[in-house]
């Protein structure tokens, strides 16, 4: 039996889809659906149970531990908003909750894969090399990044990195992010306007060494991300901190061109000022160093942005049911 926290969310529901494709139906989803549209992410998926996070956490914290037949815990549930300003909320959700689940998994030798983030690298001054050597020196640009970094520091300090895998996701995009609002990828947020004949708007650069739209990101398709996680479940010896990105850097202008090409339109790109509150917290460049992932034995390919955008548009965004379960 597999436990997927955040299993109705973006990467979590894609992971349940991947498990189903690999013949796994005995899955506990730990998530909170509330009144939004997130439930649509799981309507075509197969799983045993869905449990609210508070109930699951209370059972773990009171000594109940994990279910006795749990084979793996894939902890993807967290507050993923990089603009969240409630530091106590982020610490409770992204650090303390993750730490408690990790302790419960390690106590029973349950395979643990944990979601960290490339936000821990801050402005990239120290590069994007994973591992534990630079943990004390990293300085995230926002509280979200710090909450994720604190878990990695805790795991390193207690020797847990040799028994779990903490994945630093870069810019993940793809089906089942529709409920995320402003935290969804720019492809997702811009598709309807572009498909209807409108322009696509990008942030201007506010640094003289970078032209508008030339800020760079490592964009990684969610289907490639869950392939990595499945491989990690099959290869429990691959532990520690690992970057999960394409290993390539592409600009926001290239992303816009990829979306226009996917919908069959000539580009119409506009630029708008970046909000003042983001300018000091904005990453102008990210690129995953995936050397340790490759050294661990992972040989899977990562789609270039143009290819991922084509698949996302043709097989999902342009379909009546855009969710990942239509991708048989």
Closest CA to 168 of 155, 178, 179: 155
- Report residue 216 as tokens: 């760079």
User: 305-312 and 252-263 are packed helices; what angle lies between their axes, rounded to 10 degrees?
Assistant: 40
112 in Cβ contact with 164 (< 8 Å): yes
2, 144, 178, 221: the catalytic one is: 144
171 in Cβ contact with 323 (< 8 Å): no
Active site residue 40: no
89, 180, 281, 298: the catalytic one is: 180
Report the sign of the C-alpha dihedral through residues 130, 143, 215, 310, in that order.
positive
DSSP string, 162-174: GT-EEEEE-EEE-
Find where tokens 């509330």 sit. 34
Coil, strand or helix at 268? coil
Active site residue 312: no
Active site residues: 144, 180
């Amino acid at each position: 039996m597999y436990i997927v926290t955040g299993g109705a969310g973006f990467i979590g529901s894609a992971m349940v889809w991947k498990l189903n494709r690999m013949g796994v139906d005995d899955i506990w989803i730990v998530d909170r659906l509330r009144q939004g549209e997130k439930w649509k992410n799981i309507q075509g998926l197969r799983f045993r149970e869905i449990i609210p996070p508070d109930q699951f956490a209370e059972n773990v914290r009171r000594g109940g531990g994990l279910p006795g037949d749990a084979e793996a815990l894939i902890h993807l549930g967290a507050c993923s908003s990089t603009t969240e300003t409630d530091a106590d909320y982020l610490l409770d959700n992204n650090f303390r909750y993750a730490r408690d689940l990790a302790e419960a998994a390690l106590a029973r030798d349950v395979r643990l894969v944990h979601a960290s983030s490339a936000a821990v690298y801050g402005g990239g001054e120290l590069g994007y090399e994973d591992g534990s050597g630079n943990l004390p020196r990293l300085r995230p640009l926002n509280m979200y990044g710090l909450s994720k970094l604190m878990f990695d520091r805790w795991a390193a300090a207690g020797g847990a990195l040799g028994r779990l895998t903490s994945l630093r996701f870069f810019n993940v995009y793809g089906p089942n992010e529709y409920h995320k609002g402003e935290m969804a990828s720019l492809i997702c947020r811009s598709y309807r306007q572009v498909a209807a004949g409108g322009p696509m708007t990008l942030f201007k650069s506010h640094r003289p060494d970078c032209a508008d739209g030339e800020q760079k990101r490592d964009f990684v398709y969610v289907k490639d991300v869950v392939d990595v996680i499945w491989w990690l479940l099959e290869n429990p010896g691959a532990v520690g901190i690992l970057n999960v990105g394409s290993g390539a850097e592409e600009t926001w202008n290239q992303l816009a061109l990829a979306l226009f090409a996917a919908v069959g339109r000539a580009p119409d790109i506009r630029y708008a000022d970046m909000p003042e509150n983001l300018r000091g917290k904005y990453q102008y460049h990210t690129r995953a160093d995936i050397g340790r992932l490759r050294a661990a034995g992972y040989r899977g390919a990562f789609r270039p942005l143009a290819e991922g955008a084509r698949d996302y548009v043709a097989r999902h965004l342009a379909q009546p049911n855009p969710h990942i379960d239509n991708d048989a």
